[in-house]
Structure 1
Amino acid sequence: MAAASLAALLTVSCASEAQRPIAEAGNGQRIATAQPVGEAAAAENSTAYGAYLAGIYANSQGDLGAAARYMSQALAADPQNPRLLHNTFMLVAGEGRMDRARELAQRVLAINPSHGPARVLLAVEALRDRDFEAAQQQLEQLPAQGLAALVKPMLSAWTQVGLGETDAALKRLRALEPMNGFAALRRAHLALINDLAGRDGAAAEAFDAIGTDRAAQSLRLAWLLGNFHARQGDLDQARTVYRAYMARNPESAVMEIALDRLDQSAPAPLVSSAAEGAAEALFNLAGLLNQEGASDLALVYDRMALRLRPDFPIGRILLGEVLSAQNRPEAAIDVYRDVPETSPYHYIAQLRIAGGLDELGRPDEAIDILETQAAAFPERFEPLYQLGNLHRADENFERAEAAYARALERIPELQTRHWTVLYFHGIALERTDRWEAAEARFKQALELQPEQPYVMNYLAYSWVEQKQNLERAQDMLRRAVELRPEDGYIVDSLGWVYYRLGKYAKAVEKLERAVELRPADPTINDHLGDAYWKVGRKQEARFQWQRALSLDPDADKAETIEAKLEDGLNADDNG
């Protein structure tokens, strides 16, 4: 087979699994290719069509549970419709209702034998039943192109492991050799199969071929490689692998926890059976699909991985990520809650549960979780940082400041990635009238991340409001606008410093642009009104002030705008 990337395989796969065409109504969709005649039949068809449309709408809104129910109702009225079968199968499988998905997969394949996900699901069900021959028979019927060209050799290798045929399993993986970008994945599964067969030398050779640097790019690869070295008694090499990953990904709490636990107990193999190996392959595929933006397909493959291995914490983390990206926080929370306390992933799962609860308007529950994690992991700053963000979003700046201060106490040496903690702490300090401390934090953040546009904007705009350091603020804001020319707030800040410096024509130019970018912001509209007044465009100034007043500014700002509408600006009034 010719070399191929995942994107190319995915494109071919989507084309090869396209459903048979169905007759189209005026809006491009229809439930059935032929409609019966009669009032009862018409009513039934109308109900089915309504369910179909409701399913499409629910899917577009991210309510996949409702979408699956509606599609099932429509399918009941038109059980042989290939598009309905495909849609319903994908939704049901994505929801993890695998018994129902298994029945639908059989119906899908009766109409479209080349349907990859349906065929893989039946193979997964056979693997789950330890019927490795039946699983292999299903996999042999996968098409030779598209995503199946990647899925087939990986899962077939693990069915051969289940049959006790290690050499045949390794041979299956050769099909991946011509494919671009999958060398590390192929070597990882070569290593896992040899490891499971007790061929330590061959496993070490395959793992070594991946390389520490390549493993450092993937949490799972690093974990697999480090786990192998640890089980071989080479804890120093395991630490090297984990630390290489942490050097590239310094915020990885999971790997830091795993590193801390290296000396506490002998690690167990991460893959100890053919079914677990197949689950690993499905998880790998789901992760790749998610990276390519194919979240619906990633959801199905990850659900199949969890079908084979329910106690698969990293699979649950990925599932939660996909559900969160689909704006389904409640479903994601349910998934994260199943990550056991014994897993290093439990810490991350708890932080994400807190984030989901806050998103759902349940901040008290989120705060309890974050405080619990802060107490359980006294060396980690993330729970307190997230707590600060929660309070800041609620404009409870006193509590936000306290949380950020506690977070910073836990950071022994500030590094580049910590600029956000300093920045947000500075905001909380400024909003609680502690400007000198806030200014110091902003300057610290810029030392870590020079020319960070949001920090430059907040610091410089604060100077402008205080009528100090105006020339320095002007230079800083010019650079910030160069970096973020489409950010209305930053463009407004530059316009406002021009205003304060008496450069009214330049102020008008920038503030007009800011209003284009942020037309519903009362402060920006107010600023433009002031600039118009200064260049003699007084009617337009009053219009902008009236516009600003209509955008619900705070009480103090509204009072100031009303005074300007009444009396205009004094000749010496410069904001």
Structure 2
Amino acid sequence: MGVTKRLLLAALLAVFLLTFGGCASRAVAPKEPAPSPAPATGPRYAAELEPYEEAVDPACAYFQFAWGKSAELGGRLDEARYAYQQALLCDRKAVYVMRRLALLLLQQQEREEAIYWVRRIIAIDPADLAARSLLAKLYTALDDPDRAAVVYREILSLDPGNANAMLMLGVIYGSSDRRQEAHEILEQLVTQRPDYFLGHYYLARLYHDLGLLEQALAAYERALALNWSAALAQELAAVYQAAGLYEESLALYRRMVAKDPADERARSLLADLYLRLERVEEALDELAALRSYSRDVDRVDLTMARILLDEQRYEEAVSLLRGILADEPRLDAVRSLLVLAYYRLGKIEAARSLLEEIRPGDYGYEEAVLMLARIYHGSDQPAAAQAALERAMADPDHRYLSFYVTLALLHVEWHDAGQGLAVFQRALSELGPEPEVYFEYAVYLDRIGDKAGAMAKMQRVIALDPHDPHALNYVGYTWADQGDNLEQAREYIEEAVRLKPQNGAIRDSLGWVYYRLGKYHRALEELELAVQLLDDDPVIHDHLGDAYRQLGHVDEAQAAYRRALELLGPEGDPELRHLIESKLEKLVVDWGR
């Protein structure tokens, strides 16, 4: 056999061994000892990747890497992972393989193992900033910002001007209690890199979080100048709006529309801001322009119709709504609005005809039944009103508590409160002894003057639902007003306040029970807060006046009583008016003013 043929055969044999025998260096290696067990801190297959000798075969490593890359591109991730592991058997310092394996593990959500290999890369090359950056991102993905911050600081020690590391460290600090450090880092970043968009953007958000509005706006504007986007423009417009800079916000929305006339979001936001500013015609003009670009013209017309109804421009609203209904006869929301428009126009028969078309299960069915009953009642047709409600209540699949409540209240107006009681008994039978039914029953009893019956039903509500804030408040306030069970009343009302801390009426009840307990300073605190939450209730101002009077704050008491009288007006409760006027007179007698 000639020399050339022998060389060719040797080459073919090498290829065969490389392809089918794994790594060439291992194919000819002597028998090896069993591998040592994997370290507890490494991935489960770490021991397999520790070579049995120091031999390195770059050709084998690259072949296995290429195989893994091909498998990864084909979506065969487990196969790719195996190939990368085999490549690292051939060359344990193949950083390019470790990097690819780490990214693959990240894709498979195995972040801890990915971290192991990235740290191996850094151990081989401590100056590998890309690996350190990847390690920081992995820590962030594991919701470990503190370790990520350590890595970013290490990057900055190696590369003090690294913009990405400065940015990410600023973001991490800004999301924690180290906002001042974030402020300093991001300001340094934009000073060094004036054209770095992300630096200005995150600095703007940090300024905004810190309440530095002027600086935030300047940073937002700089970011937008560097990199215009509709999303960023919307964010800045919202900041303008929150700051009360409405003209600036309008100008930005108009600029967005000028850049992209088909931007439905921008046009909608512009129309909404016009409405907030009570510039109705401009809002309608913007919505009319939006119709040319919208993929849902009926939705735009429906919005315009609602605006016209709010503006009491009923004929225009009817014209729009009838057009929508002609295109989509089953749009029940449109039918309900059209009924309202007809009703406001006094076209009762047209409204009634539309309401009769709405069937159980349709959108707005509950409201339609109630409106139909009101129309009949307002037209002096009590029998028809009762029949409409009775017909709805007879359907076991579409019964609503509001039907029973409305019929009971109509009986009160028809001077037959006893029939209202029968309606609530029917509600308990047909809807079940639910807390909501007992609550409405109690309210009805209170309205017709049966305070004892109302208290009994409210206590039934609490027995069924101990955390109903309104029932707790009703019972607690009634006890406090009567001077009964004051400690239990306080417990009830404190629980109601816990459930509804921003409810002014419930805060008033808490203040009043403290007043009844003789804790006047504590009462005053709650009553002042109640007035802040609900300023137009004369009873709360009367209670506040009582607390001021007990503490000797005469001027404040007089002001509170006078405010209560002002809110009562000439049509207010005459008994309460007389009581407050008597208190004012007594202040003059007792204090000489």
TM-score range, shorter chain: 0.3 to 0.5
Greater length-normalized contact order (CA 8 Å, ≥ 6 residues apart): 1
Q: Please identify the structure whose Cα radius of gyration is greater.
A: 2
